[in-house]
Homo-oligomer: A and B are copies of this chain.
């Protein structure tokens, strides 16, 4: 057991004031005279007193804590998002409680724990939320914001980049450059990001009178993308362009193409990704990709969460942020590029 810690009572006794005076001393906007404050602060210092935020949370009904749910910390894109979110909330006086779930589907158990942990808000970084859970959050008036994932509920906020048009851009870019056998390596089939990127890609291809030459499943994972590349190029004919649903996979595709098939990128096969992770810019890859406004997405999500918390009510907002095509050298370009 932990040894009894120093309480506001102890400080009060030493300072010769009431316990509530001590409390006021550590409350932002409470009226207290300078004299008392000094006595209290002095006593607090000698005793090494720190207000117990658990007790504070219990009474204020606010833990100043945000739950972050995510699944893929190995994808630098989400690692970076977490980094940003953490620093951002820290500045606002909130702490992050981290929950990792398996890639697909939410862990039912985990969501239960989140609810019990009395967080003030929930941030889902590309993790799925069941509508029954969304419902329960609303009932407890805990705001939820999904980043890059949608849910069948009109009560949670969503922030996403324009995945459809990102996919559309890739499709038209590839088609305009004269590619005729465009393949798609998908992300998680259940992920809205994947669905939208794919839809956009297919629609663009169709607009050029093309169909997707082949489609393989990659689940947003590097090693699955590697296998998908093998299926794509192992036969008699092979694609002349591959759109991987994210950069993480696209890098794996490029490596596989070069190493296992001695194919050059983009001379033999064009490769396009999605996200624009730092790695994509390295000379070894020079990956043509679609940049998601990472920073902006986090900022918007945080703002929505914070605003709802301050307001004390749930106001669901759907935001779609514009993407930015990034032209590098991993894909052959149309003669004159129309972005």
Residue of B1, B62, B82, B110 touching A61 (CB-CB under 8 A): B1
Which of A45-53, A188-196, A330-338 lines the interface with chain B? Answer: A45-53
For A141, list chain B residues within 8 Å (CB). Answer: 2-3
Residue of B74, B113, B312 touching A1 (CB-CB under 8 A): B312
A86 at the interface (CB under 8 A from B): yes
A283 at the interface (CB under 8 A from B): yes
Which of A36-44, A92-100, A238-246 lines the interface with chain B? Answer: A92-100
A83 touches B95 (CB 8 A): no
- Measured in the bound complex, the distance between the Cα atoms of B98 and A238 in whole Å is 46
B79 touches A95 (CB 8 A): no
A53 touches B98 (CB 8 A): no
The distance from the CB of A15 to the nearest CB of chain B, in whole angstroms, is 19
Stoichiometry, as copies per complex, reads: 2
For window 73-95 of chain A, which residues contact chain B by CB distance below 8 Å? 73-74, 76, 79-80, 82-83, 86-87, 90, 95
Residue of B82, B112, B222 touching A50 (CB-CB under 8 A): B112
Assuming the contacts A48-B139, A50-B112, A95-B113, asked whether A73 and B79 have C-beta atoms less than 8 A apart, the reply is yes
Which A residues are within 8 Å of any B CB, using their own CB?
Answer: 1-3, 5, 48, 50-55, 57-58, 61-63, 65, 68, 73-74, 76, 79-80, 82-83, 86-87, 90, 95-100, 110, 112-113, 115-118, 136, 139-141, 222, 251, 255, 258-259, 278-279, 282-285, 312
For A139, list chain B residues within 8 Å (CB). Answer: 48
The distance from the CB of A88 to the nearest CB of chain B, in whole angstroms, is 10
- Measured in the bound complex, the distance between the Cα atoms of B282 and A285 in whole Å is 12
For A54, list chain B residues within 8 Å (CB). Answer: 54, 57-58, 63, 117-118
- A selection of 13 A-B contacts at a CB cut-off of 8 Å is A2-B61, A2-B140, A2-B141, A53-B118, A54-B63, A55-B58, A73-B80, A74-B76, A86-B100, A95-B97, A96-B98, A255-B282, A259-B283
For A117, list chain B residues within 8 Å (CB). Answer: 53-54, 95
- Measured in the bound complex, the distance between the Cα atoms of B55 and A61 in whole Å is 10
